[in-house]
Amino acid sequence: MILVTGGAGFIGANFVLDWLAVTNEPVLNIDKLTYAGNLQNLASLHGDARHIFVQADIADGKTMAQLLAQHQPRAIINFAAESHVDRSIHGPEDFIQTNVVGTFRLLEAARAYWSDLEGAAKSSFRFLHVSTDEVFGTLAPHDPAFTETHSYAPNSPYSASKAASDHLVRAWHHTYGLPVLTTNCSNNYGPLHFPEKLIPLMIVNALAGKPLPIYGDGMQVRDWLYVRDHCSAIRHVLDAGKLGETYNVGGWNEKTNLDIVTAVCALLDELRPRADRKSYAEQMTFVTDRPGHDRRYAMDARKLERELGWKPAETFETGIRKTVQWYLDNPQWVASVQSGSYRDWVQKHYSLEGSA
Ligand code: NAD
Ligand code: DAU
């Protein structure tokens, strides 16, 4: 059995579904079910004995210790986090609590559990921490992509909290010998992505006839990876990653935000044309920039490709088409997750009327 934290969120749920489709190994899924956690994401596993769900907080060390002792997993994959940069600007406290304190408590529970293991169970145990390219800070236009040895320079409360968690994981290996692995991935997209993030927000706002808010000049660059390719990268690292090492994950798909929104609008024009036959691109609206907005991220994933034989299965073109189609096919999922007073802050801060 493996233990997955945050398995009701976007990447965690895709990972659990993917894992059970390609292996037969049971998953203990621990998730606090914050606004971002959604058990509907896992509805297809209802009644599947290979999936055990427990609602709990990774910062609750006692419960983590009890669950480890009870279920005896061979690995922990830590997805649980507060993940949205705008929310971290609006209110950083939850980010410190879950991403820093939560990771610390989970590491301590894992260390106690692992210390008591013996033989093969001890030597094969793994703690895989899922992190982000944002810990490296921002790149200038012609800088090479981030490698694993790039220095950390996080710029937002979110990325600072993730950087802190990465450092804790590193230190628990160096000091206590805990068998850890860390992945740092670029921007994911795909099904089950909460519609506060760029791609799903643009799809749902476009279909609702609302403005498509583009922060600043829209020329910020992100490196996009289809979520199931991130899941396969994590499986590769869990299977064969070298203890204590970090692996960059990315799709070599650098795009400006304007490129992304234009691509989404073109697909919607093709798949669900507006009643007036005008392009959804007419809904694009430039708004105030995000404070401290990083200009460019790009990941050099050659270590993972070379050493562990990982390759993404999707190009941006195939992945974004699947994604837009998924949102068109699942309007009830969108309706059920759209809420939250935090949107009032977004509307006020980014000086936009009528936002989702
Ligand atoms: P998400 O916000 O969609 O999901 C996070 C999940 O964690 C939710 O189910 C939530 O309920 C759960 N959670 C939050 N706090 C918790 C706590 N204290 N205890 C237990 N569960 C808790 O996030 P995501 O986009 O799926 O990201 C998952 C992980 O991958 C995060 O660690 C994030 O930093 C990292 N990451 C995300 C991306 C991306 O593009 N989304 C890219 C690289 C890395
Ligand atoms: O790079 C990996 C990171 O990608 C992950 O670690 C984070 O968890 C994940 O949320 C994501 O962070 P970003 O800040 O890059 O994602 P977001 O979708 O919020 O924004 C993508 C870009 O689009 C960014 O430059 C801000 C811009 N943007 C975003 C929104 C929501 C807009 O222009 N308008 C918007 O309405």
pLDDT score of 339: 67
The verdict on the CB of residue 41 being under 6 Å from ligand 2 is: no
- The reported pLDDT for the residue numbered 15 is 99
Retrieve residue 86's tokens: 């705008």
Verify whether ligand 1 is closer than 6 Å to residue 66 (CB atom).
no
Ligand nearest to the CA of 298: 2
Residues 229, 312: contact at Cβ < 8 Å? Answer: yes
Cβ of residue 59 lying under 6 Å from some atom of ligand 1: yes
Tokens representing 50 are: 């290979």
Q: pLDDT tens across 238-278, in order?
A: 999 999 999 999 999 999 999 999 999 999 999 999 999 99
| Nearest atom, ligand 2, residue 83 CA | 8
Q: According to the model, what pLDDT value does residue 341 have?
A: 59
Q: For residues 269 and 81, what is the distance between their CA atoms, to the nearest angstrom?
A: 35
Q: What residues of the chain score a pLDDT lower than 70?
A: 339-343, 345, 351-356
The answer to pTM > 0.85 is yes
Burial class (CB in 10 A: 0-12, 13-18, 19+), 198: buried
Looking at residue 342, its pLDDT comes to 59
**Atom 36 (ligand 2): residue with closest C-alpha?**
213
Q: Of the candidates 301, 259, 292, which has an alpha carbon nearest to the alpha carbon of residue 137? A: 292
Give whole-number Cα distances, 169 to 31, 103, 105, 162, 289, in Å.
20, 8, 11, 11, 33
Measured over the CA atoms of residue 276, residue 278, residue 280 and residue 286, the dihedral's sign is: negative
- Half-sphere exposure for 29 (CA within 13 Å, toward CB): 29
Is the CB–ligand 2 distance for residue 83 below 6 Å? yes
Which ligand has its closest atom nearest to the C-alpha of 138?
2
pLDDT at 267: 98
CA distances from 328 to 23, 332, 346 (A): 29, 10, 25
- Structural tokens at position 25: 């190994």
Ligand nearest to the CA of 162: 1
Q: Whose CA is nearest to atom 15 of ligand 1?
A: 81
Q: Active-site positions?
A: 133-134, 158
Q: How far is the CA of 287 from the centre of ligand 2 (A)?
A: 15
Query: Which pair of structure tokens corresponds to residue 161?
Result: 């909290």
Which has the closest alpha carbon to 36: 189, 197, 166, 204? Answer: 197
SS (H, E, C) the chain: CEEEECCCCHHHHHHHHHHHHHCCCCEEEEECCCCCCCHHHHHHHCCCCCEEEEECCCCCHHHHHHHHHHHCCCEEEECCCCCCHHHHHHCCHHHHHHHHHHHHHHHHHHHHHHHHCCHHHHHHCEEEEEEEHHHHCCCCCCCCCECCCCCCCCCCHHHHHHHHHHHHHHHHHHHHCCCEEEEEECEEECCCCCCCCHHHHHHHHHHCCCCEEEECCCCCEEEEEEHHHHHHHHHHHHHHCCCCCEEEECCCCEEEHHHHHHHHHHHHHHHCCCCCCCCHHHHEEEECCCCCCCCECCECCHHHHHHHCCCCCCCHHHHHHHHHHHHHHCHHHHHHHCCCCHHHHHHHHCCCCCCC
Tokens 């583009």 found at: 214
1 C-alpha to ligand 1 centroid (Å): 21
For residue 195, the CA-to-ligand 2 centroid distance in Å is: 11
Ligand 1 center–CA 12 separation, angstroms: 7
Nearest residue (CA) to ligand 2, atom 15: 187
CB atoms within 10 A of CB 101: 18
The alpha carbon of 52 and the centre of ligand 2 are apart by a number of angstroms equal to: 31
The rounded Å distance from CA 138 to ligand 2 centre is 13
Shortest-distance Cα residue to atom 29 of ligand 2 = 198
Instruction: Give the count of alpha carbons within 13 A of 99, CB side only.
Output: 26
**Contact at 8 Å (CB) between 141 and 158?**
no
- The pLDDT assigned to 354 comes to 39
pLDDT of 177 reads 98
In this prediction, residue 353 carries a pLDDT of: 46
Residue 248 in contact with ligand 2 by CB distance below 6 A: no
Largest CA distance in the chain: 68
CATH 3.40.50.720 matches 2-346: yes
By the 8 A CB rule, do 42 and 8 touch?
yes
